[in-house]
Amino acid sequence: MLISSAYAASGAATQDWMSLAPMVVIFVLFYFMLIRPQMKQAKETKAMIEALQKGDEVVTTGGIVGRVAKVSNDFVVLEITDSVSINVQKQAVQTLLPKGTIKAI
């Protein structure tokens, strides 16, 4: 009688583990499909912002296209035309354009 009770208890423990398996699989898929690519993109964006230098052509999150005239710790001076310059935060820079893109526009 006691032995059969022990088998029943071990069977219930196996069912508990098997009920957690789908949750573990969902978490692993969530990590590889959402979290990891987002972390990689954030790392690339941070590296691009830190590497900004005078003469780079960029696009801001607001859609402003300009050439970097000056870089400081937190801000970048963008030259939109020959006589118009604006100050934007470094985090507002979204994309680094290839050289000569502004002339082509």
**The pair of three-digit structure tokens given for residue 74, joined into one six-digit string:** 């937190």
- State yes or no: pLDDT of 6 exceeds 70: no
> What average pLDDT does the segment 7-34 reach?
79
The answer to whether 58 touches 95, Cβ cutoff 8 Å, is yes
pLDDT score, position 67: 96
Tens digit of pLDDT for each residue in 82-103? Answer: 899 999 999 999 999 999 999 8
pLDDT score, position 10: 54
Which residues are within 8 A (CB) of 36 and not within 5 positions of it... i.e. 6 or more apart? none
pTM over 0.75: no
Count of all residues that appear for the chain in the document: 105
pLDDT score, position 72: 94
Tens digit of pLDDT for each residue in 25-82? Answer: 999 999 999 999 999 999 999 999 999 999 999 999 999 999 999 999 999 999 999 8
- Of the two residues 4 and 104, the one the predictor is more confident about is 104
Whole-number Å distance between alpha carbons of 45 and 34: 17
Query: How far is Cα of residue 104 from the mean position of the Cα atoms in its chain?
Result: 29
CB-neighbour burial class of residue 101 (10 A; exposed 0-12, middle 13-18, buried 19+): middle
